[in-house]
Structure 1
Amino acid sequence: MAAPAALHAARRAVAESLAEGELNLVGCSGGADSLALAAAAAWHHRKDAGPHRNTRVGAVVVDHHLHPRSVEISGQAVRQLKALGLEPVRIVPAAVDQQSTQGPEAAARTGRYAAFRSAMKELGAVRLLTAHTKDDQAEQVLLGLARGSGTRSLAGIPAVRGPYRRPLLGLSRAETEEICLHHGLSWWTDPANSDPRYLRSRLRTEIMPHLQERLSPTIKDALARTASIAAEDAAYLEEQAKEIFPTLLEDPDPSGALRLRLTGLRAQPPAIRRRIVALAAVAAGAPAPSFERIQAVDRLVDGGRSRGPVQLEGELAVYRGARGTSEYGKLILIPPSPG
């Protein structure tokens, strides 16, 4: 049987994601997406695979222990990954904080990436590939729209972030199933993917099909294209903000406080100004602030009646210097006192 076009596309995309001459890992859940990714990556692992002949590809099967058959499912995935020729193949547990305020999906993701980092360190891998598809990307853009978030959120799932690569963002979920069928791979479908308790599941099984029927049959392609455009725009704006940010900083304060010159900050377009505020918050030791908190700081910058403070994540306080003091004309970010 001739290989489907999707398999050739997956192999090309994976080729651009691999670190040549190094160990790369595929993150695998046993689902169709990750098994298809493993099949495409295995082609590059074999000695006769052309320019990537010195590249090694292994796999990590993450077991969240959230399903009663998780041991069986992980074992089946391992057997198929080894049959594809991947080496090494490991099962790694992912700790999921059931009491997390992030919600179950976010908690599982946090545990999964912690397991990825641990496996990469243990095995000496420099890169890890995950199997997010065009469907995942379209869903992520819709979630960003639902939250009313900015350009970075609409950019969806990044193709590259640190050591992680997502080469299948151009393929649909149906195409990954075609690849699995071609290779005779049996995949597992997580029942949580259709559980209406989870927002992403409702979006996948109810909202997206409705949009395809009533709005456009190519809505997933349009949303994925939106993500690509937004990612380029966001990257440019962030680069501009990084260049301008240090020019607005006062000399460092031994206490860890940061001071930005308000005249220069006010001169920036809102899109750049908000990003500079976020950079300043991170530089002061706080997590990246939410859009709502950045807006609150922006009102201080604009010169509203209140001088603050505005409280950001990480107990970071932001206020505007008072008239008649040495702090006048500055935006001050004060981290919490040690101890």
Structure 2
Amino acid sequence: MRHAVREWLGRYAPDGVVAVALSGGADSVALTAAACAEADVVDALTVDHGLQPGSAEVAAAAVALASKLGCRSAQVLTVTVERAGTGLGIADRDPDIGRSPGLGDRAGKARYPGGPEAAARRARYAALDEARQGLPVLLGHTLDDQAETVLLGLARGSGARSIRGMPEFDAPWGRPLLGVRRSVARELCADLGITPWEDPHNSAPEFTRVRLRHEVLPLLEDVLGGGVAAALARTAAHLREDGEVLDALAGELLAAARDGDGLRIEMLATAAPAVRRRVIREWLLERGAKSLTDSNLRAVEALVTRWRGQGGVAVGGSASGTRLVAAREHGRLILGSE
């Protein structure tokens, strides 16, 4: 654990000053202990979603533990998780601190936009970002979390980007433990004589990630002879390295293909498909498109490569609520609204 944190600090935070997201669970407790041993200054941030009975007591205990471990400061961030109808955007679940809002999928999706975990995640990250005082925030994602993320990405079938997993550093979020098994975090807590908080959500079978953790991955390990989690994490790392090269090539093509607010068709038509779709994706995102899917990108790509006089392609809504439509006009790819 200490080696993993030390290596991360050397690459991304050489000044040795960081914040840590501490829920009181085993992963975040072990990360905080290792960070206090390796970093010069550690500030602990604990999020209380207020959605489970006793959440305030859990948060208070985490803050008290942070002080014992050697954190410079520790504070509780109390958040309000927005309910359905608030217009919140939703991101996929990221397995980090303060995971559970304490609601099952069926009840939660009716009450919270995208489900309770998505709403809690949005509130959590916003609170951490506001409280971090310009510091990188370390999150307790482990190799096991990475493997689960890759499997979820495979199920979505959205291409290599969806199975690249989580990066070690996506400013301001740092993940030093992506090469460390979850069991090691528990061993460290035991060695320190600490009993971590057990989030009841982590054993609730109504959540997809919980079933992956307790049913799917153990079965794969048994059938394939072990090492599956590590192999999935290595696959994510390889794809991330390849993706970074393709993203750089796409950035160069995007700059060259720009024509006002549109893109020149002739430059896109001769590009490799993997680069071309990245250009289209980045262009749509920067123009305000949300929740793009693989089918969206391929339909827009068809305006470039399989032009038969077809009409515009709806690519979802923008932040302002308007409907965005990509179309081909006078040798340019353009984006309008309806």
The aligned residue for residue 113 of structure 1 is: 125
- 1:108-257 aligned at under 5 Å gives the runs 108-120=120-132, 124-250=133-259, 252=260
SS of aligned partner of 1:260: strand
CA deviations on 1:279-310 (whole Å, 9 max, x unpaired) are 11123233362222111111211233343211
SS of aligned partner of 1:57: strand
Tell me how far apart the structure 2 counterparts of residues 320 and 138 of structure 1 sit (CA, whole Å): 40
- Alignment partner of 1:15 out of 6, 9, 16: 9
Letter in 1 for 2:301: D
RMSD: 1.7
- Alignment partner of 1:93 out of 78, 84, 89: 78
Tell me how far apart the structure 2 counterparts of residues 201 and 332 of structure 1 sit (CA, whole Å): 43
CA contact 2:327–2:333 (8 Å) conserved in 1: yes
CA deviations on 1:68-114 (whole Å, 9 max, x unpaired) are 12111111111111001102101002332342432222222111101
Q: 1:104 to 1:306 in 2, by over 3 A?
A: farther
The aligned residue for residue 52 of structure 1 is: none
TM (normalized to structure 1)? Answer: 0.85
SS of aligned partner of 2:154: helix
Tell me how far apart the structure 1 counterparts of residues 312 and 12 of structure 2 sit (CA, whole Å): 47
Tell me how far apart the structure 2 counterparts of residues 77 and 230 of structure 1 sit (CA, whole Å): 36
Runs of 4 or more above 6 Å deviation: none
Q: 1:193 to 1:17 in 2, by over 3 A?
A: farther
Q: 1:97 to 1:215 in 2, by over 3 A?
A: farther
The answer to whether structure 1 residue 29 and structure 2 residue 23 are counterparts is yes
SS of aligned partner of 2:235: helix
Offset of residue 172 of structure 1: 0.5
CA contact 1:274–1:295 (8 Å) conserved in 2: yes
Number of residue-to-residue matches in the alignment: 306
Letter in 2 for 1:186: T
SS of aligned partner of 2:194: coil
The aligned residue for residue 303 of structure 1 is: 306
Of 14-23 and 134-143, deviating more is 14-23
Tell me how far apart the structure 2 counterparts of residues 15 and 277 of structure 1 sit (CA, whole Å): 35
The aligned residue for residue 38 of structure 1 is: 32
Offset of residue 148 of structure 1: 0.6
Tell me how far apart the structure 2 counterparts of residues 210 and 292 of structure 1 sit (CA, whole Å): 32
The answer to whether structure 1 residue 72 and structure 2 residue 57 are counterparts is yes
CA contact 2:19–2:45 (8 Å) conserved in 1: yes
CA contact 2:2–2:35 (8 Å) conserved in 1: no
The aligned residue for residue 320 of structure 1 is: 328
Tell me how far apart the structure 2 counterparts of residues 98 and 71 of structure 1 sit (CA, whole Å): 20
The answer to whether structure 1 residue 294 and structure 2 residue 297 are counterparts is yes
Tell me how far apart the structure 1 counterparts of residues 241 and 328 of structure 2 sit (CA, whole Å): 33
User: Higher Cα Rg: structure 1 or 2?
Assistant: 1
CA deviations on 1:134-156 (whole Å, 9 max, x unpaired) are 00000000000111121121111
Q: 1:247 to 1:259 in 2, by over 3 A?
A: same
SS of aligned partner of 1:213: helix
The aligned residue for residue 51 of structure 1 is: none
CA contact 1:19–1:126 (8 Å) conserved in 2: no
SS of aligned partner of 2:242: helix
Structure 2: segments with no counterpart, 5+ residues? 85-111
TM (normalized to structure 2)? Answer: 0.86
Tell me how far apart the structure 2 counterparts of residues 265 and 194 of structure 1 sit (CA, whole Å): 48
Tell me how far apart the structure 1 counterparts of residues 22 and 292 of structure 2 sit (CA, whole Å): 32
Offset of residue 66 of structure 1: 2.1
Offset of residue 161 of structure 1: 0.6
